[in-house]
């Protein structure tokens, strides 16, 4: 769709200087690479810099290559490092690393004229990196926050399974140990903590983890950011080339990328010959093209994503085929968003003068927990007093 079409459909917000005529903003601050946060970057003017973590830039690059998502244009990207104040126009911007279900997430403290705004981005307190939230609270304990833009996904949306990422890893390992045949799993490889959990579960159970080229690229790009197994350097990880990727790689000029993981390549014939040796990433698009419509007998699918996707037709078909193979589908997931009770605890720990709910289905729920809530509609202006 063209920019005009996106505007007429109400997909692009009418932000002056960014999507409609007006003075250009000094910058865009991007918290992380999920589409509901960065999906409109491609429609911003080329002269407007986009500040984000290097991890976010890498996740969006991977998403752009493998999932038809949006990347940050190279000439617009500006790296911002956690806890290093950066001058952006009249504002001093300090980023803080936060834990979410994608690598490289940031919250932002924005200061000018003696006032401060904290934008939390998407975050949680039950992930692997609980120290990130503790550090943010510690830094701001003696630093007044005038306005807190607080994500509230789980106000008005079920918290889901209330377990930590560490407990999910233990649960995954248990299910793998109980499986007698092939184990396949579905999740986003950009969720690096979950990717690491499955790799560790494979290792604990003496299985080889089979990652697709998308996941291999993610591991490859972040190896300098965090210690992760890298295909080609760790025999624990092998790489499967889905047919839909191979069919498009040459057409899209991805031969060099494709060749990068060739030494670790594993074929479907090798997997099917001894399925109990493997734990592999799976996507519904692979059912017909790679598995020829049939799973090996006794296949276990560990589904590790939002349960709503299971209602889609491709997952209904996948579930039917797993059942037909005397297998089973097991959900092992925990949310990437902060739970309802943790929202209350986190906001009270920061103790802002004003709380403005964002990223929520029920912003009015904030008023049940806090007296200092300001509800704003999209596009509504408000001056920090």
Burial 137-167 (b: 16+ CB within 10 A, else e): eeebeeeebebbbbbbbbbeeebbeebebee
Output 80-86 pairs: Cβ under 8 A, ≥24 positions apart: 80/29, 80/51, 80/52, 80/53, 80/106, 81/53, 82/53, 82/106, 83/139, 86/51
Please tell me which residue, 379 or 367, carries the higher pLDDT value.
367
Predicted confidence (pLDDT) at residue 134 exceeds the cutoff of 70: yes
Say if strands 106-112 and 115-119 run parallel, antiparallel, or are unpaired. antiparallel
**269-280 mean pLDDT:** 97
Looking at the DSSP bridge assignments, the partners of residue 212 are 240
CB 150 within 8 A of CB 247: no
Higher pLDDT, 200 or 247: 200
Q: Which residue has the tokens 């959990």?
A: 197
- pLDDT over 80 (residue 357): yes
Predicted local distance difference test score (pLDDT) of residue 328: 97
Q: Is the pLDDT of residue 4 over 90?
A: no
- What is the band of 255 on the pLDDT scale with cuts at 50, 70, 90? confident
pLDDT band at residue 161 using 50, 70 and 90 as cut-offs: confident
pLDDT digits (tens, 9 = 90+) for 172-182: 999 999 999 99
**pLDDT value of position 314:** 97
Closest C-alpha among 137, 194, 240 to residue 332: 194
User: Mean per-residue pLDDT for 340-352?
Assistant: 97
Query: In the chain, what are the domain boundaries?
Result: 3-158+337-368, 165-331
pLDDT higher than 80, residue 233? no
Measure CA 20 to chain center: 29
pTM score, whole prediction: 0.95
Question: Is pLDDT at 156 greater than 90 in this prediction?
Answer: no
pLDDT at 63: 96
Overall average pLDDT of the 110-116 stretch: 97
pLDDT exceeding 70 applies to what percent of the chain? 99
User: Rounded to an integer, what distance in angstroms lies between the CA atom of residue 58 and that of residue 60?
Assistant: 5
pLDDT at position 258: 87
Tokens 């920019």 correspond to 3
Work out the pLDDT band at 90, boundaries 50, 70, 90.
very high
What pLDDT was estimated at residue 45? 92
- Distances 260 to 57, 216, 232 between C-alpha atoms, Å: 20, 10, 9
Residue 234: its pLDDT value, please?
63
- Mean pLDDT (the chain) is 95
pLDDT the model gives residue 340: 96
pLDDT at 379 over 90: no
| Residue pLDDT, tens place only, 256-271 | 888 999 999 999 999 9
Q: Class of the 3-158+337-368 domain?
A: alpha beta
pLDDT-derived band of residue 229, with 50, 70 and 90 as boundaries?
confident
Is 20's pLDDT higher than 70? yes
Please determine, for residue 127, whether its predicted confidence score (pLDDT) is greater than 80: yes
In this predicted model, what pLDDT tens digit does every residue of 187-202 receive, in sequence order? 999 999 999 999 999 9
d(CA 56, CA 248): 25
Superfamily of domain 165-331: Metallo-hydrolase/oxidoreductase (3.40.50.10710)
């Amino acid at each position: 769709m063209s920019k005009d079409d996106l505007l007429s459909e109400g997909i692009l917000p009418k932000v002056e200087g960014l999507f409609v005529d007006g003075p250009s903003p000094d910058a865009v601050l991007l918290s992380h690479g999920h589409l509901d946060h960065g999906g409109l970057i491609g429609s911003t003017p080329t002269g407007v810099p986009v500040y984000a973590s290097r991890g976010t830039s890498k996740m969006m690059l991977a998403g752009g290559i493998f999932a038809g998502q949006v990347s940050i244009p190279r000439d617009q990207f500006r790296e911002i490092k956690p806890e290093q104040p950066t001058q952006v126009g009249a504002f001093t911007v300090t980023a803080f690393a936060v834990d979410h279900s994608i690598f490289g997430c940031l919250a932002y403290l924005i200061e000018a004229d003696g006032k401060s705004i904290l934008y939390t981005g998407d975050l949680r307190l039950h992930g692997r990196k609980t120290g990130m939230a503790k550090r943010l609270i510690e830094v701001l304990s003696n630093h007044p926050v005038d306005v807190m833009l607080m994500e509230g996904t789980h106000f008005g949306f079920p918290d889901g399974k209330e377990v930590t990422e560490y407990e999910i890893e233990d649960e995954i390992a248990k299910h793998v140990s109980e499986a007698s045949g092939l184990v396949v799993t579905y999740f986003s490889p950009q969720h690096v903590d979950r990717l690491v959990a499955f790799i560790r579960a494979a290792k604990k159970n003496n299985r080889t983890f089979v990652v697709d080229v998308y996941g291999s690229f993610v591991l490859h790009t972040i190896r300098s950011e965090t210690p992760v197994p890298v295909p080609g350097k760790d025999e624990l990880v092998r790489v499967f080339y889905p047919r839909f990727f191979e069919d498009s790689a040459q057409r899209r000029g991805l031969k060099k990328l494709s060749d990068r993981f060739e030494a670790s390549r594993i074929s479907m014939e090798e997997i099917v010959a001894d399925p109990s040796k493997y734990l592999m990433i799976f996507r519904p698009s692979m059912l017909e093209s790679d598995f020829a419509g049939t799973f090996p007998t006794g296949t276990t699918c560990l589904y590790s994503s939002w349960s709503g996707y299971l209602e889609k037709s491709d997952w209904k078909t996948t579930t039917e085929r797993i059942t037909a193979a005397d297998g089973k589908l097991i959900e092992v997931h925990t949310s990437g968003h902060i739970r309802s009770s943790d929202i209350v605890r986190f906001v009270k720990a920061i103790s802002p003068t004003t709380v403005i709910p964002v990223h929520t289905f029920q912003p009015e729920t904030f008023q049940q927990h806090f007296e200092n809530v300001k509800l704003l509609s999209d596009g509504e202006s408000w001056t920090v007093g």
